[in-house]
Structure 1
Amino acid sequence: MSSLSVSEHVVDDVAHTAAKRRRERLAQWHLWFILVVVLGPLVIYPLVQLLTLSVTGAHGLSLHPYIAFFTNPETSGVIGTTLGILFASATLASVLGVLLASMLFFKPFPGAKLVTRFLELFVAFPSFLVAFTLIFLYGSQGSVSIGLQRLFNLSDPPLNFLFGIGGVILAEVVFYAPFVVRPTLASFATLDMRLIEAAKSLGANGPMVAFKVILPLAWPGIAAGTILCFLLTLNEFGILLVLGSAHLITLPMAIYSSATVDLDLQTAAAGAVVMLAMSLSLYALYRRVNRHTGGRNGN
Structure 2
Amino acid sequence: MSSLFVPDDVAADPRLAAQFAAHASEAKRRERYAQWQLLFILIVILGPLVAYPLARLVILSVSAPGGFSLHAYAAFFANPETRGVIGTTLGILFASAGLASLLGVALASMLFFRPFPGTRLLTRFLELFVAFPSFLVAFTLIFLYGSQGSVSIGLQRIFHLDAPPLDFLFGIGGVILAEVVFYAPFVVRPTLASYATLDMRLVEAAKSLGANGWRVAFKVVLPLAWPGIAAGTILCFLLTLNEFGILLVLGSAHLITLPIAIYSAATVDLDLATAAAGSVVMLAMSLSLYALYRRVNRRTGGRNGR
Fold shared per TM-score above 0.5: yes
- SS of the aligned residue for 1:294 comes to coil
Please name the residue that 2:171 is paired with. 164
Question: How many Å apart are 1:14 and its aligned residue?
Answer: 1.1
2:47 corresponds to which letter in structure 1? G
Please name the residue that 1:67 is paired with. 74
Q: After superposition, give the CA deviation of every residue in 1:238-278 in whole Å (9 maximum; x if it has no partner).
A: 00000000000000000000000000000000000000000
1:254 to 261, 271, 291: 261
1:217 corresponds to which letter in structure 2? L
- 1:285 equivalent to 2:285? Answer no
Q: Please give the alpha-carbon distance, in whole angstroms, between the structure 2 residues aligned to 1:162 and 1:57.
A: 41
- SS of the aligned residue for 2:13 comes to helix
Q: Please give the alpha-carbon distance, in whole angstroms, between the structure 1 residues aligned to 2:210 and 2:178.
A: 41
Q: Please give the alpha-carbon distance, in whole angstroms, between the structure 2 residues aligned to 1:13 and 1:197.
A: 54
1:131 to 130, 134, 138: 138
Please name the residue that 2:113 is paired with. 106
Q: How does 1:170-181 map to 2 (within 5 A)?
A: 170-181=177-188
Q: Please give the alpha-carbon distance, in whole angstroms, between the structure 2 residues aligned to 1:26 and 1:164.
A: 54
Q: Please give the alpha-carbon distance, in whole angstroms, between the structure 2 residues aligned to 1:163 and 1:17.
A: 66
Question: How many Å apart are 1:4 and its aligned residue?
Answer: 9.8
Please name the residue that 1:243 is paired with. 250
Please name the residue that 2:6 is paired with. none
Question: How many Å apart are 1:58 and its aligned residue?
Answer: 2.6
2:91 corresponds to which letter in structure 1? G
Name structure 2 gaps, 5 residues minimum: 1-8
Give me the identity figure in percent: 80
Please name the residue that 2:83 is paired with. 76
Residues 106 and 30 of structure 1: is their aligned pair in 2 closer, same or farther, counting only changes over 3 Å? same
| RMSD over aligned Cα atoms | 1.5
Name structure 1 gaps, 5 residues minimum: none
Please name the residue that 2:208 is paired with. 201
- 1:153 equivalent to 2:160? Answer yes
Please name the residue that 2:4 is paired with. none
Please name the residue that 1:39 is paired with. 46
Name whichever of 200-209 and 4-13 sits farther off.
4-13
1:191 corresponds to which letter in structure 2? L
Q: TM-score, length-normalised on structure 2?
A: 0.95
Q: Please give the alpha-carbon distance, in whole angstroms, between the structure 2 residues aligned to 1:151 and 1:269.
A: 51
Please name the residue that 1:25 is paired with. 32
Please name the residue that 1:234 is paired with. 241
1:15 to 22, 25, 36: 22
Q: TM-score, length-normalised on structure 1?
A: 0.97
Q: Please give the alpha-carbon distance, in whole angstroms, between the structure 2 residues aligned to 1:263 and 1:60.
A: 20
Question: How many Å apart are 1:295 and its aligned residue?
Answer: 7.7
Q: Please give the alpha-carbon distance, in whole angstroms, between the structure 2 residues aligned to 1:3 and 1:285.
A: 49
Does structure 1 retain, via aligned residues, the 8 Å contact 2:266–2:272? yes
Q: Please give the alpha-carbon distance, in whole angstroms, between the structure 2 residues aligned to 1:118 and 1:51.
A: 40
1:87 to 89, 94, 114: 94
Question: How many Å apart are 1:60 and its aligned residue?
Answer: 1.7
Q: Which runs of 4+ in 1 moved over 6 A?
A: 2-5
Question: How many Å apart are 1:3 and its aligned residue?
Answer: 9.7
Q: Please give the alpha-carbon distance, in whole angstroms, between the structure 1 residues aligned to 2:120 and 2:279.
A: 40
- SS of the aligned residue for 1:74 comes to helix
Q: After superposition, give the CA deviation of every residue in 1:50-101 in whole Å (9 maximum; x if it has no partner).
A: 0000001132210000000000000000000000000000000000000000
